[in-house]
Chain A
Amino acid sequence: MPPLLDRLNDAAKRKLHSLQDYFVLAWNALRFIFARPFYGGDLVQQMDAIGVQSLGIVLLTGFFTGMVLALQSAVQLQTFGASMYMGRLVSASMIRELGPVLAGLMVAGRVGSGIAAQLGSMKVTEQIDALNTLGTDPIKKLVTPRVLASLIMLPTLTIINDFVGIVGGNLIAQFYLDVPTSLYWRTVWEQIASDGFLFRFIPNDFVQGLTKPFVFGGVIAVTACYFGLSTSGGTEGVGISTTRTVVTSSILILVLDYFLTQILLSLLVAP
């Protein structure tokens, strides 16, 4: 085989191996949620680190995104005399798209990089090997609590993000468009109710808006743990793993968002 093809072949094999390792890690992390021993303390600690400590950044992003969304739309809506629909526009955008994606990107940047840096440092200082030699499975001890905490906390953060975004839109609607608060919130609810319900009581918008962060949460944590645990090359390696985590998980969030939207729309919008 010519050297170029040889190299391409090797590179493709390496990529496939990495992909396989990624999915094996994801599978083990999820499998160990139901396997003893349970590291409850680590789970609570990670829920705090991933969820509670990300609250500030998520509140800020959600609030300003809601406001800027309303501000940009105000001119258009006024042109058509449709200012009263501000609530519909902001809630649909926030709940379906902006809430999950922005919370995901914020958490990928803040938490994903943190997890990768922490696990990467543990790897290069032999702490992962130490866990192994002390008879502990590092995936069970380190990865599973992070993945589970992320699966729980990202949807929670998204709900908060959606809510403050809609509140931000409310402020703009009231002070720029003179839309009364009661009318704004009524149109918000109309929008939620207009898209139908799953099992007759779960609004489809909520299903879409909460499925996404659940998936994004898993993707962020698994990606961060994967790059963290495969760190090599000392402190420089830790930096590389951190960067890769943020870039990869951000891209995955945006790409998966498209496909999830496609799937959810086809499932939820009854023919």
Chain B
Amino acid sequence: MIDRDRGAPADAHAPTDADTSEESVDVAEARERRADDIIRRKQEERVRSAIQSELSTDDTGEERPRPEDPGPLRGAVIELERVSLAFDRPILEDVSFAAFPGETLVIVGESGTGKSTILKLILRLLQPDSGRVYVKGHDIAPLSFTEALDVRQQMGMVFQSAALFDSMTVFENVAYPLREHTDLSDDEIEARVKEKLEFVDLAPDEVMEKLPAELSGGMKKRVGVARGMANNAEIMLYDEPTSGLDPLTTGTITRLIMKLQRELNVTSIVVSHDIRSAFRMATHIALLADRSIRFFGTPEEMAASDDRYIRDFLGGF
């Protein structure tokens, strides 16, 4: 029953006689409704499977076979399913969420709540203690180190510190993934690097030969984005993309993330504590508190929430 409803076409309920702009608004709303439904249904599934697993333990304490694994959500690009992770102390407990094609999911939360850890789990730089991480419907846990490297190539990651290779020029940084993983000629690589630098609003001729140390914080972040998308990644991950930047540069980076979503239909997961930027760019916001997802929904739903913690978190915003 659940499977049948999963991934129902978003436009199935869209009116056919509406004009184009109304239709696109309706489609967007329908897509959001669908995503919300899926997440809600997923949570119901979790409760149901928890009850079933309780019931499956008989009086003798012996465990009966568990119900069949629900598997990945159809159509989700990234999905975390009941993920828990602990180092010296628990970091994440029972975290579930999904991001669908073209969405920008912003994960917000206080510092030290494990937001960046989620990105490392998606990149398989870390493995969950329990639960699953699906990338395009594939569980990435059983992958070998080399296979994990292949999966990572489908994603572009922008680090908090930009993490540009400081011994290489801007050109070499952006060209790095192309040189490593493609057979493109030098001319093709140069053309691609220029294209990506222009996309992030940098003048290729001015910055290409510079070393990262010669760039401002905002420029480094933009070069980081260009490097992340050099391989035409379908998934972009951002770790605190606006931290440490002035308000104007923060706006530039936020617009850039929105541009990637709008023009290239890239699925983005953004970890941030900058709530103003989050509200501007997010299609969905996940609030991480006490090691688990406290809220998942649209920015409007978050703004309308009466939850005391959410109100405190949003502060005067």
Contact = CB atoms under 8 A, between A and B. Distances in A.
Interface of A: 37, 121-122, 125-127, 129-130, 132-137
Given A127-B164, A130-B163, A135-B177, 10 more contacts: A37-B180, A125-B161, A126-B159, A126-B163, A132-B149, A133-B123, A133-B155, A135-B150, A135-B181, A136-B180
Interface string B109-142: 0000000000010010100000000000000000
A232 B150 CA distance: 27
5 contacts: A130-B157, A134-B180, A135-B152, A135-B181, A137-B149
B213 to A, nearest CB: 11
Given A135-B149, A135-B150, A129 B180 contact: no
Contacts of B152: 132-135
B166 interface: yes
Contacts of A121: 166
Contacts of B87: none
Nearest to B176: A134
A235 B102 CA distance: 38
Nearest to B237: A133
A129 B157 CA distance: 10
B165 interface: yes
B69 to A, nearest CB: 28
A137 B145 contact: yes
Contacts of B145: 137
Contact of A135 (B163, B165, B180): B180
B125 A127 contact: no
B250 interface: no
B125 A130 contact: no
B153 interface: yes
A230 to B, nearest CB: 15
A46 to B, nearest CB: 12
A143 to B, nearest CB: 14
Contacts of A125: 161, 163, 166
Contacts of B164: 127, 130
B160 interface: yes
Contact of A132 (B123, B161, B166, B227): B123
